[in-house]
Amino acid sequence: MRICVVTPYYQTDPSWLAVAHRSVREQTQHAHHIMICDGSTPAALPDFVGTHVVLQRNYRDYGNTPRLIGCYQAMQMNADAIAFLDADNWYYPDHLAGLVAFARSNGLEACASARMLHRLDGSPLIKCPVVDGRKHIDTSCLLVLKPAFQHMLTWVLLPQEVAGVADQAVWKHMLDRGTRLGFLDHATLAYRTRHAAHYTLAGEAPPPEAIVRANVHGDNYH
């Protein structure tokens, strides 16, 4: 199976981006990494292996337009499946293999995993209680197989004010159209969290740089 992993980024710490890329390269299920620079200075990763697309402007939609551009790139490369990885997150080594096996054994067209919350320094915090496949999924936990590629246009159909929750819209769009979906309750996605609420859930004092936001499932993109 040919899998492409799409990562949009904008002014991301290069060391974080390197962790994300290394996690793709170290997957037990081989994948081709497509990085999309969303109008910032392109990252220079000495060991980068994949496709690097540099956009000339920042679309200011939480990476949704770059994600769709990455999907088009993956389709042109004849991908059988597309996964997503935000630039400040990373995969555990068996993330993609687990999702592929789960999709195949259940006849699914798309699926998502649970996620593990990590502190800003990369250390593990707790398994996320919010992303459960029912109320919420996370962009970086999502694997979409070719029969559901048609739904990827949904990344750019939301107005600007709600673009930050496009992952929920994509999942709901596929569900409403009868796409065979499934949730794998294995936390194989590492989510580097800035959300104060996540630290509170773990019984910790949030770090000084933590953000307070009602939506604690969503992207760290901007």
Beta bridge partners of 196: none
162 three-class SS: helix
The pLDDT score that the predictor gives to residue 134 is 83
Instruction: Give the whole-angstrom CA distance, residue 103 versus residue 171.
Output: 15
The pLDDT score that the predictor gives to residue 161 is 82
pLDDT of 221 over the 80 cut: no
Does residue 77 contact residue 50 with C-beta atoms inside 8 Å?
A: no
Q: What are the domain boundaries of the chain?
A: 3-201
Q: How confident is the model at residue 218 (pLDDT cuts 50, 70, 90)?
A: very low
Q: Which residue has the tokens 């559901």?
A: 148
The pLDDT score that the predictor gives to residue 51 is 98
CATH 3.40.50.720 fits 3-201, yes or no: no
Instruction: Give the whole-angstrom CA distance, residue 40 versus residue 56.
Output: 8
Give per-residue pLDDT as tens, 181-211: 999 999 999 999 999 999 999 999 999 888 9
Give per-residue pLDDT as tens, 27-39: 999 999 999 999 9
Q: How confident is the model at residue 216 (pLDDT cuts 50, 70, 90)?
A: very low
Q: How confident is the model at residue 212 (pLDDT cuts 50, 70, 90)?
A: confident
* Predicted structure pTM score: 0.94
Q: Which residue has the tokens 């004092």?
A: 205
pLDDT of 117 over the 60 cut: yes
Give per-residue pLDDT as tens, 66-110: 999 999 999 999 999 999 999 999 999 999 999 999 999 999 999
Give per-residue pLDDT as tens, 129-178: 999 988 799 999 999 999 999 999 999 998 888 888 999 999 999 999 99
